[in-house]
Amino acid sequence: MQKNKLISYLPYLIVIIAILSLFNMNGSGVSETLSYQELQKTLKNETIKESQISIGNNVTTVHGVYTKDDRQVGFTSTIPSTSDEITAVIGQLENSKLTIVDADASNLFLDTLITLIPFVFFGAFAIWMINRMNGAGANSKAFEFSKSRARLEGKIRVRFDDVAGCDEEKQEMKEIIEYLKYPKKFEKMGARIPKGILLVGHPGTGKTLLAKAVAGEANVPFYSISGSDFVEMFVGVGASRVRDMFKKAQQTAPCMIFIDEIDAVGRQRGAGFGGGHDEREQTLNQLLVEMDGMEDNTGVVVIAATNRPDVLDPALLRAGRFDRQITVSLPDRKGREAILKVHARNKHLASDIDLGALAKRTPGFSGADLENVLNEAAILAVREDSEEIHMQHIDEAIDRVMMGPAKVSRTYDEKTKKLVAYHESGHAIVGLFLENAQVVQKVTIIPRGQAGGYNLMTPKEEKMMNTKNDLLATITSYMGGRVSEEMFFDDVTTGASNDIERATNIAKDMVTLYGMSDLGPIKYNAGTENVFLGRDYNSPNNVSGEVAYEIDQEVRKIINGCHDMARAILEEHREQLIAIAEALMEYETLTAEQIQQVVKGESIAEDFGSTETAAPKAEAAPADTEETDW
């Protein structure tokens, strides 16, 4: 912003400097034109320092400089070109530095050019200023409106070493690098490299970073553009930009085109209420034509990324266009550890921090989440003037990323504090004593975000799929807070609203999607997609009124069964629940190790030292949160 301001003031500075220079030139000396009589007086009375005589056929011009009142005074005069006059003037100027010039030998063209240069310069400057004031620069960009918005990045510094947690995906991309480096090898074998590669995955899994790493490893130009950069209000602009983008790419082949968020322009045509967007569909049609018209082995590889592959047009995914689809999944434990090592390169971590243990405690985190956690931890360390990042900084950073900063100023009265403590203790007891439930890692009644308290749990082991018992255990853990309120207060609060919502969604999926009910293995949730995200408005609904009633009955049966199971567990471990609740009311936050000590009846006062309000050292990172809305 500051640089643009200086550039806008530059023309005015040039004008001021030019005017001051003219004043300086005029102020440094005086020039005058003398008549013949005045010339005679000047030659007689003044000491001439420099002089020049230009002898012409009829008139001789005399130039000279003399000093008057400490100023240089120049003069010009003419005399008749007679031998007597010229001899007399030369005699009077013989004591000065005299130069005799033949007027007929002077270069008229050069003299005229030298005289006109200042006027040409100031005229051009005036025209430029007028055009700038009239906005000619902005209007000229109107001709570039239909040009490609793709940004060309020549030198990509990202390499595969900077991308972690997706080893299989990198292996799939290595042959693209080989093709960009050695296309003759593939031509000799008769192989056709995929024209388009579609990267699919959750947000933050590293799709854009992986595409940059491919261009960096292959050392080729990298064209980057977003799907929304194609679509404009004016029909035909998007299609023109697509043509221009592929034209530029073919001129710099081998190269790579990366289209981020391609679902913005590649959604199904003719879908949704009203038939879709005409400009977007024309842009998609042009993209299909350009990719289908690309010759084999032209040296242009198109890579696109999206987290909504379900709304893409089928013609975009057929062979010959985006004919290879690579799913960039959330990283596993080894992948998370590798990602943490990459992002910890420039961080000053304490020697007691184990990245492997941290990766084990953060299932479900994407690469962007892990990078954000380490960055927040570094900010917290700087805020506390710490020279290293310690475990308490990372633990607080995880809480901030998931739930927001702690609302220390938000205080409870004693009744509300007790309600929250017993609610969260109910979740903790179910997690501790129910088989297939997730492991309780941290319980707190400190408000964060919209939650008055929360229970952080991680699965005992990472699974690719969940069983019916796993889902029932999860619903039971959600019911633990509501059951605890019923048992100890003979009343219910709004704090369990988020728990009930999550439990209901899982139960509905068990009945309508997973076939885990008495209704059998039948999918009942058709027709629930958003019609404005690439789906038809009149999608068939294969659920009759009678079946819908049976679905509601099955969902209620699952919720009620898990509710009764949670009550049975809490009744059986009533004393342990009370102990955890009292510890929460006293210390506000308990870690997994401290919860185990409380359940066993051991004291945890020494963990908090002399100041009982100090936050305990965190032992785990959250994978799931049992929120309480207060």
Candidate from 163-167, 385-389, 466-470 with smallest mean pLDDT: 163-167
Q: What is the dihedral of CA 357, 438, 463, 304, to 10 degrees?
A: -80
Q: Are 585 and 418 in contact (CB under 8 A)?
A: yes
Residue 269 to residue 284: CA distance in whole angstroms: 9
Split at pLDDT 50, 70, 90, the class of 364 is confident
Q: What is the C-alpha to C-alpha distance for residues 514 and 521, in angstroms, rounded to an integer?
A: 7
Helix, strand, coil shares, percent, the chain, to 5: 50, 15, 30
Tell me which of 117 and 11 has the higher pLDDT.
Answer: 117
- The residue ranking higher by pLDDT, 503 or 417, is 503
For residue 377, pLDDT over 50 is answered with yes
Contact 346, 313 (CB under 8 A): no
Ranked by mean pLDDT, the top range of 81-85, 94-98, 142-146, 565-569 is 565-569
Judge whether 212 and 158 are in contact, CB under 8 Å: yes
Amino acid, res. 542: N
DSSP annotation of 613 reads: T
Question: What positions carry a catalytic annotation?
Answer: 424
- pTM of the entire predicted model: 0.66
Q: Are the C-beta atoms of residues 554 and 561 closer than 8 Å to each other?
A: no
User: Quick check: 375 pLDDT over 80?
Assistant: yes
**Tokens 């998931």, residue?**
402
Query: Which range has the worst mean pLDDT, 333-342, 399-408, 422-431?
Result: 399-408
Mean pLDDT of 372-384: 92
The full DSSP string for 108-164 is HHHHHHHHHHHHHHHHHHHHHHHHHHTTHHHHHGGGGTTS--PEEES-----GGG--
**CA-wise closest residue to 580 among 496, 479, 481:** 481
Residue 615 pLDDT grade (very low, low, confident, very high; cuts 50, 70, 90) = very low
Query: pLDDT higher for 294 or 460?
Result: 460
Dig out the tokens for 400 from the structure.
Answer: 């901030």
User: What is the mean predicted confidence (pLDDT) over 333-348?
Assistant: 90
HSE at residue 34, side-chain half, CA atoms within 13 A, is 21
Q: Is the pLDDT of residue 469 over 60?
A: yes
pLDDT of residue 131: 65
pLDDT in tens, 406-431: 766 666 678 888 888 899 899 989 98
Whether residue 265 contacts residue 218, with contact meaning beta carbons closer than 8 Å, is answered with: no
What gap in Å lies between CA 259 and CA 243, rounded to an integer?
Answer: 14
Per-residue pLDDT, averaged over 164-174, amounts to: 85
Q: 32 pairs with which residues across the strands?
A: 75
Rounded CA separation 45/22 (Å): 30
**Whole-angstrom distance, CA of residue 126 vs CA of residue 114:** 20
- The residue type at 338: A
Task: Convert the pLDDT of each residue in 196-212 to its tens digit.
Answer: 889 998 888 889 899 88
pLDDT over 90 at 382, yes or no: yes
Q: How many angstroms separate the CA atoms of 272 and 154, rounded?
A: 40
Task: Name the amino acid, one letter, at 255.
Answer: C
CB 171 within 8 A of CB 289: no
Task: Tell me the H-state helices in 182-296.
Answer: 183-189, 207-218, 237-251, 278-293
